[in-house]
Amino acid sequence: MSDDIQRKLQNELDNFKKTQKELQKTIQNRQQLDGQLNENELVKQELDLLPSDGKVYKSVGPVLIKTELVEAKHNVSKRIDYINAELKRVDNMIITLEKNQDGHREGLQKLQHQFQQAQVKAALHA
């Protein structure tokens, strides 16, 4: 009886650790997206300050290529939209992982309680 509970306990602990690791990775991903969003919003603000005939260059490898201001603004806006969509997706993933983690935590507590009860019963019958 106690071996079965111990196996379940170990399995639940492994699932908890796996979910915890996934959650940490997802949170790091979200932080990275936040940084990218801030960078792109700063670029957008700088582009908005330029006059309509302003010159914009974009870096492609080791070369700077002249780009139209309208095209540059459009590209940055599309990037911001994409990052915002990714942030929403990652936020939903974080919520799901946190719920899973809570479920594993509850499962661990129940199994630990069952294991302790089994040990007490075994000690009484020994």
| DSSP-assigned letter for residue 50 | S
- Is 80 exceeded by the pLDDT of residue 2? no
R_g over Cα of the chain:
26
- Annotate 22-49 with three-state secondary structure: HHHHHHHHHHHHHHHHHHHHHHHHHHHH
Least Cα distance to 77 among 121, 69, 12 occurs for 69
Q: CA torsion 24→28→61→58, rounded to 10°?
A: 150
CATH assignment of 2-125?
A: 1.10.287.370
- Is 80 exceeded by the pLDDT of residue 117? yes
pLDDT of residue 3: 82
Give per-residue pLDDT as tens, 29-66.
Answer: 999 999 999 999 999 999 999 998 889 999 999 999 99
